[in-house]
A = this chain, B = another copy of it.
């Protein structure tokens, strides 16, 4: 599998209509599932190595429209890893205290430490998505944020964090089916809020905001990947592969033993 095709080149002007959320549907589903299983096994090893080496930090940002699959991606892709080294940060509407600070304050606090993976379920990008679409701050304010974000991510990568940003791309029809499923299943009601309908009605405005985000903030140091999201088996396999490639690129090593331990026998 080539993951470059999903990667947004820095400076490229993104049109989401150029990306097919049904991409890979022609593929062999069981082969995709086997591919994901292999990546998943490898990711468990790589995460242990990342933790053991205690040198690198990995930040994975997940963004999508409502019902885009962020939660299930987290469960499927990150679930098998050791929960000790994987911290999921879910960014909801900011609290009073958070609103009393700049919008990157709460995000910076959840950045990964050495040896750890942080997964952002939503992120600072909400401050150029929902905030833009719903005019929560004036354009003069949000329009400066793309630069802040690139600068902030540059700081993190300069200081040893590897950043991967995943945009889960689903169709409007797929969102309809998923929302309907939440309405129809009593064990999924809790995921549905009336507000979801008002948000869905702004689909086109969100597309514009996503396109601006992808066009302005995919950088060499912190690239965006637009992952086709309509079919979970393809989505999981592609994300798994992106993460394997990213972690293998770090050339990690188990740390050597302390001096003087060679041949040591533990006493009774």
Contacts and interface: CB of A to CB of B under 8 A. Distances in A.
A197 interface: yes
Copies in the complex: 2
Interface stretch (A156-164, A231-239, A254-262): A254-262
Given A79-B81, A79-B83, 5 more contacts: A78-B83, A87-B87, A176-B266, A189-B256, A194-B261
A61 B190 CA distance: 29
A192 interface: yes
Contacts of A258: 189, 192-194
Contacts of A52: 187, 190-191
A80 interface: yes
A266 to B, nearest CB: 5
4 shortest interchain CB distances as A-B pairs: A189-B257, A52-B190, A179-B266, A75-B82
A26 interface: no
A15 to B, nearest CB: 22
A55 to B, nearest CB: 11
A80 B82 contact: no
B186 A254 contact: yes
Contact of A255 (B54, B74, B183, B189): B189
A197 B267 CA distance: 8
A98 interface: no
Given A192-B261, A255-B190, A265-B180, A82 B84 contact: no
A81 B79 CA distance: 7
A268 interface: yes
Interface string A75-93: 1001111111011101000
Given A180-B265, A265-B180, A266-B176, A192 B88 contact: no
